[in-house]
Amino acid sequence: MTDAFDFTGKKVLVTGGSRGLGNAMVKAFAARGADVVIASRKLENCRNVAREVEAMGRRALALACNVVSWSDLDRLAEAAWSGMGGIDILVNNAGSSPLAPSSLETSEDLFDKIVALNFKGPFRLSAQLGSRMAAGRGGAIINISSVGAIRPRPSIAPYAGAKAALNALTTAMGFEYAPKVRVNGIMPGRFLTDVSRAWDEEQRKNRTAALQRSGRPEEIVTAALYLASDASSFTTGSVLQVDGGIA
C-alpha cells in the first residue's frame, strides 16, 4: 500500500505560511516531498522559512503578499504559478481575529479589514488558482476557517461572519471547479501558536473544550494532509472541525 500522504512532486502554496498554523503546514508538506510557496506580508520572514524548507531538500519560493489587496493576490498567483510550474494545492491560511469592544464601537475600517483578510482574499486567490487548476491537471484548495463561524461571539462578530462566508465559499467553489479540483475547509478551535503567548493561563487551558486543552500546531497538520491528498478523493465542499470538541 502506497503512502497516502506522499506529496513528492506536488507544488503547494500556503498563505500566512511564515508562522503559526501556516508554518506547521508548510513544514509538513515539505517533509512529505512537496515543494512549497510561502506567502505573507513580510518577505524576510518568508525567506527564513524558505531556507528551512530548502534545508529539507525541497524547493521553496518566498513571496510577499498582502492578502487584502486584489492586485497583490493577482501578482502572487502569477508568480507562484510561473515560479513553480503550476500549483497543485492551495492553503488559504492567512487570517486574523481582532476583538472589538462592541458591535457599535466597531469602526468601518476595522470591519472592512477583517472581511477583506478573512473572506475577500481567499475568494480572489481561490478564483485565480482554482480556475487554472481546473483548466490543467486539477488540484485541491483548503480554506482555513474558524469554529467561530458556527460558534459566534459578540466580540468577534465581523470575524465570525467572514469565516461563515468562507465556509459558504468552500461549498460554492467545490461545485464551480469540480470535478478536477476539490475545495474543502478546516475550522480550527483554540491552538497554541505564537498568538497564544499573550493569553492568560485559563485561555491556554481551554477548559470549555471536551478535550480540556488547546491544540498543538502539529495537530492541524493531519487534517490538512488528508484534505490535500488522494485519501480524500471523494470529499469536496466539506468543512472539518478541529477544535477539541467545543459545545
Give pLDDT, residue 128: 98
Q: Are 161 and 173 in contact (CB under 8 A)?
A: no
Instruction: Give the number of other Cβ atoms within 10 Å of residue 201's Cβ.
Output: 6
pLDDT for 194 equals 67
Provide the pLDDT for residue 26: 98
Residue given cell 502539529 in the structure block: 218
Q: Answer whether 180's CB lies under 8 Å from 133's CB.
A: yes
Is 0.85 surpassed by the pTM of this model? yes
pLDDT (0 to 100) of residue 99: 86
pLDDT of residue 182: 98
- Give me 219's grid cell: 495537530
Catalytic residue numbers read 159
pLDDT at 1: 37
Give the pLDDT confidence score for residue 42 in this predicted structure. 95
CA–CA separation, 187 vs 166, rounded Å?
10
Q: pLDDT averaged over consecutive 10-residue blocks of the chain (247 residues)?
A: 84 96 97 98 97 98 97 98 98 90 93 96 98 98 96 93 98 98 96 68 77 89 96 97 87
Phi, psi at 40, each rounded to 5°: -165, 180
Give me the sheet containing 60-64, strands edge to edge.
60-64, 35-40, 11-15, 89-92, 139-144, 181-188, 239-242
Instruction: Please give the domain boundaries of the chain with CATH numbers for all domains.
Output: 11-242 (3.40.50.720)
Output the pLDDT for position 204: 67
